[in-house]
């Protein structure tokens, strides 16, 4: 069953670098992802896929690329939202 969650990453970011990192991790985990906001201190991204893969995505992204520092992160889950999954992209 597809789960949808929004993950907030807080820290010090080079947004372009972190967004590429997010895109790559989502693709490797076969998740669909949509970035809602990306600034130097907060990145908000929604992801859709299996719950275990959402856990892996959150953990992988919390480590971040070398030029970014993730200080905190939290996830807000949506039980199931198949009507929104079409909004997300998987891969390039």
Q: Walk along the chain (92 residues) in steps of 10 and give the mean pLDDT of each run.
A: 92 97 96 95 95 95 95 83 44 40
The answer to the question of residue 92 being in a domain is: no
pLDDT at 78: 75
The answer to the question of residue 16 being in a domain is: yes
Q: Which of 48, 41, 42 is nearest to 2 (CA)?
A: 48
The answer to the question of residue 86 being in a domain is: no
The answer to the question of residue 24 being in a domain is: yes
Number of Cβ within a 10 Å radius of residue 60: 16
Its domain, for residue 55, covers 3-81
When divided into structural domains, the chain yields a total of: 1
pLDDT at 41: 97
Q: How far, in Å, CA of 48 to CA of 39, rounded? A: 22
In this prediction the pTM is 0.82
**CATH, residue 7:** 3.30.70.100
């Amino acid at each position: 069953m597809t789960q949808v969650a929004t993950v907030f990453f807080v820290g010090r970011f080079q947004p372009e670098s972190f967004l590429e990192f997010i895109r790559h991790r989502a693709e490797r985990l076969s998740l669909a992802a949509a970035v809602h906001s990306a600034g130097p201190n907060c990145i908000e991204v929604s992801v859709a896929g299996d719950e275990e893969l959402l856990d892996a995505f959150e953990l992988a992204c919390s480590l971040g690329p070398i030029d970014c520092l993730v200080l905190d992160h939290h996830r807000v889950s949506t039980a199931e939202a198949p009507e929104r999954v079409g909004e997300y992209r998987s891969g390039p």
